[in-house]
Amino acid sequence: MVIDHPIFLESIRFIRSHLEANDLNYLEKKVLERLVHTSGDFSVQNLVNFSEGACHNGLQALKNGAPILTDTDMAAAAIKSMAENTTRNKVFAARKWFEKNNHTKLTKTAYGLSEGWKELSAINSGSDSPIVVIGSSPTALTYLIDILENAKVLPSLIVGMPVGFIGVEKSKNKLISTDLPRIVLNSTRGGAAMAAAAVNALLRETI
């Protein structure tokens, strides 16, 4: 059970009262509020990009027990606490598969995330297909999209929020150009905390 601190609740009320008018649906607004809260920056409301039905897909997958696969230990840790207090979805980080990396053309994270996806999607292949959360590595996001082009199983949701300057916007634009269910933070901004916040907003709605 999640018990919110009064300061957090006051912060959310403040954020809600200062957001610009938008046409986001209920779940998208919840995600946006968490992103603004995590970043302390109202400008992210102009950067977040939702594919149609992405938040609904993610919420239903969480309720169905979908595993959550992240590119970093930091994002995994940030999500795990909320998951344990709500739907108890299992959370995995790409590091679990690092030691198997013999693919010299890939970064460790790209390899680990892709191997994690292959393993988890073989087990969870229906309405509980994995949710993939990327808050650091643009190469992991790009390679994941590549391997999904001919995949029979697709993620229930991809949170695409790698951060940095080299290849980051390119990887996000590649995700946006697909039909995959996604939440993307445009520009060079992102990070593990932001990516985790998007998932945690949806986990809160499972209560």
Q: What does the H/E/C string look like for 116-137?
A: HHHHHHHHCCCCCCCEEEECCC
> Within 13 A of 115's CA, how many CA atoms are on the CB side?
18
In contact, 71 and 142? CB cutoff 8 Å:
no
For residue 5, indicate whether it is catalytic. no
Q: Which of 18, 37, 56, 103 is catalytic?
A: 37
E runs forming strands in the chain: 48-50, 68-70, 91-93, 131-134, 157-160, 182-185
Report the distance separating Cα 129 and Cα 47, nearest Å.
27
SS3 of residue 133 by DSSP = strand
Report the distance separating Cα 119 and Cα 106, nearest Å.
18
Q: One-letter amino acid identity for 129? A: S
Instruction: Return the active site residues.
Output: 37
